[in-house]
Amino acid sequence: MPRIVIVGAGLSGLCTAHYLVRNLYDAGKDAEILLLEADGVPGGKMRTIRQDGFNLEWGPNGFLTNKPHGMDLVKDLGIEDRVVRSSDLARKRYIYSGGTMHRLPETPVAFFRSQLLSPSGRARILWEPFAAGPPANVDESLGDFARRRLGTEALEKLIDPMVTGIFAGDPDRMSLRSCFPLIYNLESKYGGLVRGMLALKRERSKQGVKSEMSAGPGGVLVSFDHGVQTLADVLASRLADGLHMNVSVERIERRGDSYALHLSEGGIREEMEADIVVVATPAYDAARILAPLDDALIDALNAIPYSPVTVAALGYDAGTLGNPLDGFGFLIPRGEKRKILGALWDSSVFPNRAPDGKALLRVMVGGVRAPEMASLPEETLLSIARRELSDIMGIAVEPVLARTFFHDRGIPQYLVGHGKRLERIDARLAGLPGLHLNSNAYRGIALNDCVLQSRLTAERIAKSV
Ligand SMILES: Cc1cc2nc3c(=O)[nH]c(=O)nc-3n(C[C@H](O)[C@H](O)[C@H](O)COP(=O)(O)OP(=O)(O)OC[C@H]3O[C@@H](n4cnc5c(N)ncnc54)[C@H](O)[C@@H]3O)c2cc1C
């Protein structure tokens, strides 16, 4: 019976194990499936901490239904009754610019009424259908793409905050094609964004699907009754004996046709053989573990950088805030030179994040914009976050809860050249049969992407067993 070992029980590792069980056992194929996790809690970045009646999300808030993969997994697990839909306020997203909160317009009409961009900035966007096409054979940066199609002001006030909200990254260094393949495809298939969106709207209405042209991400944001941890816990519980927590994989070597994994569990060293290995850790951990195998593979993995982010969770007595928190939260363009990246108004979006009468905000700090800020001592960081909330939102009262979550290497950055790097990684993996890499470092950072890539990885493996 082949042994398949998955390293890392973040969403990617948990889902790979889940879909392997589905694909192999349901097809009557025999295999031993083991999932090893260095930490004591499953979920990786997807973790919820319960404190004083608050549900504090360590990292992700939830996932959007604009892609089907997350909800497909939910249905597959039979946990639809545990899904919590965000309140309609989640559609109200703000950009803080020039000392004012501007609502991110959701419709073309609202967009042209909005004061976020100057009249000439808005006119430049109107000109989008006539913008120059993409340069040939270049992995264009998101910044260059936005300047070319939408103009500099749209880049600074719309695209830069969006990239901050998703990647905590720098649009001038990120690859459009790797970070936002749907936008890249709109231009390559239809010749422009407006043309592409109109064509999609027509195609959908022919299929009887109602759709809007929106500057927002689309879909509905969903989470679970006990926060995102619910999903990790359900996936972990289904694996039962196959999941081994507090087991760190130190290195992996080739041994004949199989792999030898060197493990450490509570300081005790052990060895395990596996026929198939899925490394579902961040790229930098994969590089360390796989160091004995292939130098070129390790170089390519180490070339995927990560942005550091700290989440500062602040809980308040709702009645003392003096601010209705009527939306999803706000992001800040880098030109504003503020000390925070933005804030999410968690309890407005998901009321179950705070006990009755309380409100919860999560402030984002650091990113590639200010990496040194993310690693400040907790007290300093909290006082900066509070000062910024006071300046920006007028919240000057004492919080009833204050806590930070530091993600040293939080979010992988798909820089220009990321696609070529993945080709190099795939070419090296071709020489290491049975070894697979699957995490948010490669083909999508959203929870939906992790679910999809895990399903595809499991399907590839199931075919080979
Ligand atoms: C602050 C923040 C906010 C986010 N918000 C959202 C959001 O709202 N929506 C969204 O869709 N996405 C969001 N994301 C992205 C999303 O959380 C991640 O892409 C996703 O959780 C990554 O899952 P993963 O399994 O690929 O990696 P990870 O979660 O990093 O899991 C990797 C696992 O591998 C384990 N591991 C590492 N080394 C070893 C080893 N040697 N041996 C054994 N185990 C090991 C780790 O302990 C960890 O559990 C956010 C991310 C951050 C940081």
Q: What is the pLDDT of residues 368-378, one digit of tens each?
A: 999 999 999 99
Q: Is 61 in the pocket of ligand 1 (CB under 6 A)?
A: yes
CB 313 within 8 A of CB 362: yes
Segments making up each domain of the chain, as ranges: 3-44+227-304+414-464, 63-89+306-412, 108-215
Terminal Cα-to-Cα distance of the chain (whole angstroms): 10
Identify the segments of the chain with pLDDT beneath 70: 209-217
The confidence score (pLDDT) of residue 150 equals 97
Question: 61 alpha carbon to ligand 1 midpoint, in Å?
Answer: 12
Question: 81 alpha carbon to ligand 1 midpoint, in Å?
Answer: 25
Candidates 300, 302, 306, 278; CA nearest to 422 is 300
63-89+306-412 CATH fold: Polyamine Oxidase; Chain A, domain 2 (3.90.660)
Distance CA 255, CA 248 (A): 20
The confidence score (pLDDT) of residue 111 equals 84
Question: 155 alpha carbon to ligand 1 midpoint, in Å?
Answer: 28
Q: Do domains 63-89+306-412 and 108-215 have the same CATH topology?
A: no
Measured in degrees and rounded to the nearest 5, phi and psi for residue 381 equal: -65, -40
3-44+227-304+414-464 CATH fold: FAD/NAD(P)-binding domain (3.50.50)
Q: Is 14 in the pocket of ligand 1 (CB under 6 A)?
A: no
The sign one gets for the Cα dihedral 100, 103, 107, 113 is negative
User: Which residue's CA is the nearest one to ligand 1's atom 17?
Assistant: 60
3-class SS letters over the chain? CCEEEEECCEHHHHHHHHHHHHHHHCCCCCCEEEEECCCCCCECCCCEEEECCEEEECCCCCEECCCCHHHHHHHHHCCHHHEEECCHHHHCEEEEECCEEEECCCCHHHHHHCCCCCHHHHHHHHCHHHCCCCCCCCCCEHHHHHHHHHCHHHHHHHHHHHHHHHHCCCCCCEEHHHHCHHHHHHHHHHCCHHHHHHHHHHHHHHCCCCCCCCCCCCCCEEEECCCCHHHHHHHHHHHHHHEECCEEEEEEEEECCEEEEEEEECCEEEEEEECEEEECCCHHHHHHHCCCCCHHHHHHHHCCCEEEEEEEEEEEEHHHCCCCCCCCEEECCHHHCCCCCEEECHHHHCHHHCCCCEEEEEEEEECCCCHHHHCCCHHHHHHHHHHHHHHHHCCCCCCCEEEEEEEEEEEECCECCHHHHHHHHHHHHHCCCCEEECCCCCCCCCHHHHHHHHHHHHHHHHHHC
Distance CA 248, CA 266 (A): 9
Q: Is 38 in the pocket of ligand 1 (CB under 6 A)?
A: yes
The confidence score (pLDDT) of residue 41 equals 96
Question: 311 alpha carbon to ligand 1 midpoint, in Å?
Answer: 14
Q: What is the mean pLDDT of the chain?
A: 95
Question: 232 alpha carbon to ligand 1 midpoint, in Å?
Answer: 11
Question: 43 alpha carbon to ligand 1 midpoint, in Å?
Answer: 7
CB 343 within 8 A of CB 329: yes
User: Which of 55, 281, 328, 404 to mutate to test ligand 1, by most ligand atoms within 8 A of the CB atom?
Assistant: 281
User: Which residue's CA is the nearest one to ligand 1's atom 9?
Assistant: 60
Reported as half-sphere exposure (CB side, CA atoms, 13 A), residue 242 has a value of: 24
Q: Is 393 in the pocket of ligand 1 (CB under 6 A)?
A: no
* Beta pairing, strands 329-331 & 342-344: antiparallel
Distance CA 51, CA 44 (A): 19
Q: Is 382 in the pocket of ligand 1 (CB under 6 A)?
A: no
Distance CA 279, CA 327 (A): 38
The confidence score (pLDDT) of residue 240 equals 84
Q: Is 440 in the pocket of ligand 1 (CB under 6 A)?
A: yes
Question: 45 alpha carbon to ligand 1 midpoint, in Å?
Answer: 4
Question: 11 alpha carbon to ligand 1 midpoint, in Å?
Answer: 7
Taking the CA of residue 411 as reference, the ligand 1 atom at the shortest distance is 53
Question: 124 alpha carbon to ligand 1 midpoint, in Å?
Answer: 38
Instruction: Tell me the β-bridge partners of 276.
Output: 4
Q: Is 248 in the pocket of ligand 1 (CB under 6 A)?
A: yes
Residue at token pair 């719309």: 158
Q: Is 44 in the pocket of ligand 1 (CB under 6 A)?
A: yes
The confidence score (pLDDT) of residue 27 equals 86
Inter-axis angle of helices 193-206 and 181-190, nearest 10: 90
Inter-axis angle of helices 11-20 and 229-239, nearest 10: 40
Distance CA 56, CA 403 (A): 9
Tokens of 249: 């994989």
Question: 412 alpha carbon to ligand 1 midpoint, in Å?
Answer: 10
The confidence score (pLDDT) of residue 213 equals 54
Candidates 120, 118, 84; CA nearest to 102 is 118
The confidence score (pLDDT) of residue 114 equals 93
Q: Is 36 in the pocket of ligand 1 (CB under 6 A)?
A: yes
Tokens of 289: 């573990």
108-215 CATH fold: protoporphyrinogen ix oxidase, domain 3 (1.10.3110)
Torsion of CA 210, 213, 216, 218, to 10 degrees: 20
Distance CA 432, CA 257 (A): 9
The confidence score (pLDDT) of residue 210 equals 64
Q: Is 282 in the pocket of ligand 1 (CB under 6 A)?
A: yes
What would you report as the CA-atom Rg of the chain, rounded to the nearest whole angstrom?
A: 23
Q: Is 46 in the pocket of ligand 1 (CB under 6 A)?
A: yes
Q: Is 12 in the pocket of ligand 1 (CB under 6 A)?
A: yes
Distance CA 332, CA 422 (A): 32
